[in-house]
Amino acid sequence: MEFVWWGVTILLFILSFVGIIYPFIPSIVVLWGGFTVYQFLINPNELTWWFWISMVILSVVLIASDIIANSYFVKKYGGSKKSETIATIATIVGSFIIPPFGIILVPFAAVFVTEFILQKDIQKAVKIGFATVIGFLGSSIAKILIQLMMIAMFIFAIIV
């Protein structure tokens, strides 16, 4: 039965990376699901308090990096608060429309249209649309690196 639980744990780790392309899958929750399957169904005495505290800290960093990166780039290029909100919604909607390209194209188009309506400046709207894409890609890279770090710390915790 332990073999099955290991399979579930590994599947949850993989699914956490799928959540980067499909934002409706909560990557951090799925990743924590892998940790808890191990803790409660494979070896309840292996993971220390230090591990759990580290995972909480990295989870907060992961969530904050996602929010900050997107917001930073939209603001840096003169985007409005509405564009930040539209970009977030469009990223989720875009994951259903022509995946995985929809998570880039739909937010770009939505922010471009929003900013063009608000500012009536096509060049600025294009610039802010691209800023949205850069913010999404930056936050995605950060999420991948942090999730890899969390999984590496998990492997280190169970090996050592």
Query: Which conformational region is residue 97 in: left (phi greater than 0), alpha (psi within -120 to 50 degrees), or beta?
Result: beta
- With cut-offs at 50, 70 and 90, classify the pLDDT of residue 154: very high
Report the alpha-carbon distance of residue 115 to residue 110 in Å, rounded: 9
pLDDT digits (tens, 9 = 90+) for 93-145: 887 887 778 888 988 999 999 999 998 889 999 999 998 889 888 888 999 99
* Residue showing tokens 């744990």: 9
Contacts of 120 (CB under 8 A, 6+ apart): none
Domain ranges in the chain are: 48-159
pLDDT digits (tens, 9 = 90+) for 46-60: 899 999 999 999 999
